[in-house]
């Protein structure tokens, strides 16, 4: 295992469990236990969580809310998710810090790169909330931005599926998992793995992106060993 510092991006929808929206505590606890497995292997871990389980900015904008306001509401949803994951991790003795791109000093630190690096060096998981702090940028882009700023060796996008398929596996049972794919192919084919801004930045900074299923036991460890089911964008 040559990777020392990694960034884990978790979709907000992953926190819903079997519900249609919101936060399922048992699901968060399961995710926390998977994270603890790689934490115990002495990785420095950055975490970013989406907010789609509570509020999705683009959907709000399509229903009549001003786009900037809608995106800020989505950022606040990510803060709630970050605090819930922080609580879950600390209950299993994993030290964390939440840093927010929007100032809210009573519940989270403001994002400061040097402070984040210091937390990582002290073996604390740093959970980044509120995206980039700017509307019109997704948490995918925030994940790639923070990974680039903090010199992470890779990004793991943890979702509900094993990786990128050549067709929708929910519709086509014969859909094939794409093990390796280039940044350019993801961009040119407009694959909806991460938004194009995020993929373009990862390409520029040469950070590989792994896509895997957070709900499979030991999936994160398997990705770090480059074994099991996953897709790699590089």
Query: For position 86, which CATH number holds?
Result: 3.40.1160.10
81 burial (CB, 10 Å; 0-12 / 13-18 / 19+) is: buried
3-state secondary structure of 45: strand
Cβ atoms of 131 and 139 within 8 Å: the answer is yes
Give the per-residue pLDDT at 63.
83
Looking at the predicted structure, is the pLDDT value of residue 190 above 90?
no
Residue 185 lies in domain: 5-233
223-229 long-range contacts (CB < 8 A, ≥24 apart) are: 223/156, 224/1, 224/3, 224/6, 224/38, 224/41, 224/43, 225/1, 229/162, 229/163, 229/177
pLDDT tens digits, one per residue of 122-158: 999 999 999 999 999 999 999 999 999 999 999 999 9
**pLDDT category of residue 1 using cuts at 50, 70 and 90:** very low
Give the per-residue pLDDT at 150.
96
Mean pLDDT of the chain: 92
Looking at the predicted structure, is the pLDDT value of residue 100 above 60?
yes
C-alpha dist (Å) from residue 210 to 23, 47, 51, 61, 158: 25, 14, 20, 30, 8
Q: Total domain count for the chain?
A: 1
Whole-model pTM? 0.93
Q: Distance (Å, rounded) from C-alpha 170 to C-alpha 201?
A: 30
**What's the average model confidence in pLDDT over 165-183?**
88
Looking at the predicted structure, is the pLDDT value of residue 216 above 60?
yes
């Amino acid at each position: 295992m040559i990777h020392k510092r990694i960034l884990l991006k978790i979709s907000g929808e992953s926190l819903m469990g079997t519900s249609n929206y919101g936060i399922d505590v048992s699901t968060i606890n399961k995710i926390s236990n998977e994270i603890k497995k790689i934490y115990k292997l002495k990785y420095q871990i950055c975490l970013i969580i989406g907010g789609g389980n509570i509020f999705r900015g683009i959907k709000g904008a399509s229903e009549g809310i001003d786009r900037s306001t809608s995106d800020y509401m989505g950022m606040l949803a990510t803060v709630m998710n970050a605090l819930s994951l922080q609580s879950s991790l600390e209950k299993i003795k994993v030290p964390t810090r939440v840093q927010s791109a929007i100032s809210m000093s009573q519940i989270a630190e403001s994002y400061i790169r040097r402070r984040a690096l210091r937390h990582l060096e002290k073996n604390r998981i740093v959970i980044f909330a509120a995206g980039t702090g700017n509307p019109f940028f997704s948490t995918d882009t925030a994940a790639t931005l923070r990974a680039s700023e903090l010199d992470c060796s890779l990004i793991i996008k943890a979702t509900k599926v094993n990786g990128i398929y050549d067709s929708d596996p929910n519709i086509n049972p014969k859909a094939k998992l794409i093990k390796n794919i280039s940044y350019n192919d993801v961009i040119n084919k407009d694959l909806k793995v991460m938004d194009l801004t995020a993929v373009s930045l990862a390409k520029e900074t040469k950070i590989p992106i792994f896509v895997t299923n957070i709900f499979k036991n030991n999936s994160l460890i398997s990705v770090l060993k480059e074994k099991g089911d996953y897709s790699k964008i590089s």
